[in-house]
Amino acid sequence: MSEAAKPPRPQFRNIQLTQIASYRMPLAALVSIMHRISGLFLLLMLPFILFMLDSSLLSEGTFEYLKGFASNWFVKLVILALSWAYLHHFCAGIRHLIMDLHIGLDKDSARKSSATVLTVSIVLMILVALKLFGAF
């Protein structure tokens, strides 16, 4: 094949800050980023969670007060967000541990495992939401 007949090679360049919104990342990258965000959210909320646990164990009065506090719809949404963060972080962590064993590293397997992580964490979050808002 002559030099003139060869198709031009694609050029890969760094994306600029203004191009981030239009950049389409693969599903595995989104799951990985959400794994990091959920871990950061759990880390930042840990002092609040431990304070609430410590306060609830002081006496029956503080437990009843916190029980009433947790019945507020906004607090339930925060608890739901914490539950999603934990469930997603747990499922994605298992995925990363399996990938550390060099299982599922090819493109198709990574896409399927990331879709599985999203599906399982969302289904579990829906179950937690139904229980939290009194469906069962």
pLDDT score of 3: 64
pTM flag (> 0.85): no
Q: What's the pLDDT band for 11 if we cut at 50, 70, 90? A: confident
Structure confidence by residue, pLDDT tens digits, 14-31: 778 887 778 788 899 999
d(CA 48, CA 50): 6
The answer to whether 83 and 128 are in contact (CB under 8 A) is yes
- Which bin fits 102, alpha (ψ -120 to 50), beta or left (φ > 0)? left
Does pLDDT of 1 surpass 70? no
